[in-house]
């Protein structure tokens, strides 16, 4: 074996490990940014679920310590200081949940498409006269802002705007919950406690 064959075999043996190391080092920063967003991580025998375990623990703690009961509006407003975009998305989830509950309470049989879910809900609420035109416009504007926050690259909302968005969402949620409870006194009392 001459020196040329030795170099070729050495290069052949080291090519993949060197390429792998280059990829790992070049992707280190983007991967480290994605890790906090991960819900599940699995490597051979090790499997970790981040959100599910924490959610189960907090539900158990809530039953053990009644003082841990809190209203979601206050939590979202507090989180708007650090994570305004996330707070906006969570506030919209409350609107979505209340809207769907109202539609189900009125026994409107529909199947919501995931791609156009929010627009579909808006049209049902307006078509069935569950909300008036002004409320429908508010729903639409909140939905559009939510979509910008969720889908526009680099779109950041300010803390003050996030708090205003949360306030508007919860006004709409309160109205939708009141409509869903019409005629049920226990339900109305529950909504009044939540609103206060």
Other C-beta atoms lying within 10 Å of the C-beta of residue 121: 20
Query: Which residues is 46 bridged to in the sheet?
Result: 43
Percent of the chain with pLDDT over 90: 0
Q: Is the pLDDT reported for residue 195 higher than 50? A: no
Band of residue 150 on the pLDDT scale cut at 50, 70, 90: confident
H or E stretch covering 54: helix 50-64
Sign of CA dihedral 100, 102, 105, 110: negative
For the ranges 7-16, 33-42, 106-115, 117-126, the lowest mean pLDDT is seen at 33-42
Q: How far is residue 165's CA from residue 21's CA, in Å, rounded to a whole number?
A: 46
185 or 16, which is more confident: 16
> Quick one: average pLDDT of 20-29?
81
Strands (E), the chain: 40-43, 46-49
Query: Which residues is 49 bridged to in the sheet?
Result: 40
| Residue 65, pLDDT score | 57
> Quick one: average pLDDT of 77-97?
87
| Residue 188, pLDDT score | 47
| Residue 191, pLDDT score | 43
């Amino acid at each position: 074996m001459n020196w040329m064959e030795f170099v070729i075999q050495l290069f052949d043996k080291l090519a993949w490990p060197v390429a792998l190391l280059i990829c790992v080092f070049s992707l280190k920063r983007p991967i480290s940014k994605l890790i906090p967003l991960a819900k599940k991580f699995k490597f051979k025998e090790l499997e970790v679920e981040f959100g599910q375990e924490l959610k189960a623990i907090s539900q158990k703690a809530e039953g053990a310590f009644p003082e841990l009961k809190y209203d979601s509006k206050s939590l979202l407003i507090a989180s708007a200081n650090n994570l305004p975009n996330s707070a906006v998305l969570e506030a919209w989830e409350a609107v979505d949940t209340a809207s769907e509950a109202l539609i189900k309470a009125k026994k409107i049989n529909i199947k919501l498409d995931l791609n156009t879910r929010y627009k579909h809900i808006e049209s049902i609420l307006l078509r069935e006269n569950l909300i008036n035109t002004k409320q429908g416009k508010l729903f639409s504007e909140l939905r559009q802002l939510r979509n910008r926050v969720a889908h526009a690259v680099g779109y950041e909302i300010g803390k003050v705007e996030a708090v205003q968005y949360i306030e508007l969402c919860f006004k709409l949620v309160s109205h939708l919950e009141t409509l869903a409870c019409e005629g049920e006194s226990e339900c109305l009392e529950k909504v009044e406690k939540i609103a206060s």
